[in-house]
Structure 1
């Protein structure tokens, strides 16, 4: 599932590609991926412009020039792809296609995900359920430590809890725990201030490096996109079961924790 770095990577590329370009055509191949009848969805978008693309957690919010919003959540398996001119369309089936003149934005894999047309107020209500952004300039080390000291439970379970903090999923929760040298099952309530400060530094480091590195999604955003997915090769533990730890050489293990797969180094990462 795309996480904060992948969605921020998409946001940056979309912001450089589609802003203020009139929507010239819309195709809905799967009505369950939207929240209004197809005819209404299409007619309301034709002629509109996206004036701003915002990211909130794992969501993208397309701000339209009439004040409405398109709220996107890719969920598991969702991807975006854009072509220009005579470039070939993606080989995979698409659920929604939006044309911005000679550019076509394809929404792929929206079997669980969605693209909803809603008002600004409705978008605010949906997104208000999310926890704070970890890369927001207002998220200082002091604020993070204060928030964590009010929490209980296993580290990974908290990091992927979107009501606690927005944007982190399975991959980056494991990468952050590894960077901080903390076991994913370590209890938050047993961590001292120094450990929490180190955790904050690891969160900032991993999320920023992953974002600038294009995230871990393998499919490029455009035909000439050579950034998207490059961070996959930099992952230290996620999906690396049986490989040697880059710090100590111990084999990375995979276990299950509250129904989620967890990758970690049993030597480098401690439960405090």
Structure 2
């Protein structure tokens, strides 16, 4: 498979892992809202938003994705209630104000958090909710003794994304939001854990896709053996710790 196809598979694996938890924590309150206008910034292959659209068919959903290659995977999922736009947030020409904005696994990649938060203010109204979901900064340096090769790769991916040594990502986003009127904030901590047979297979699939994206497939023998041993040992687990920052005006 091509690298972009591995990226597609990796994004689908993250949806498999996180959507069940995030739906229950953050999205159930919106389930009965008819005509909810939803924007997903940095929607990737569209799998996450597509599943939300199927779960909540009365929502009107728009996904933005700046990468042309992965956008093509999203575009194939369009329906009358689900639209995808090939654009960065800076170049997005839509003027609609949204009731719910999702910023999932995107915030760490932002070059200018302040500019982005101001853009969010211009695309929302006083009753809107913004939900920012991302990996906890502490994950960047986590080490799993039973997964040394994957832990090393994980560090290699995450550490370059850190913008500040003084503030955690969630704290810098919170400060930027408060300075622009988002005074009603809630912070949640949650995790995806390989604590059942099903979730362990999902986590294995996720780790396999991350590794394949960087090293190709079949995986290098040592890496494949490490993941296979982890999967076969019922005593071993793995968790990805996340935060959810909810922003409201009122």
Q: Considering the TM-score relative to the shorter chain, is it more than 0.5? A: no
**TM-score relative to the length of structure 1:** 0.27
The TM-score, its normalising length taken from structure 2, stands at: 0.29
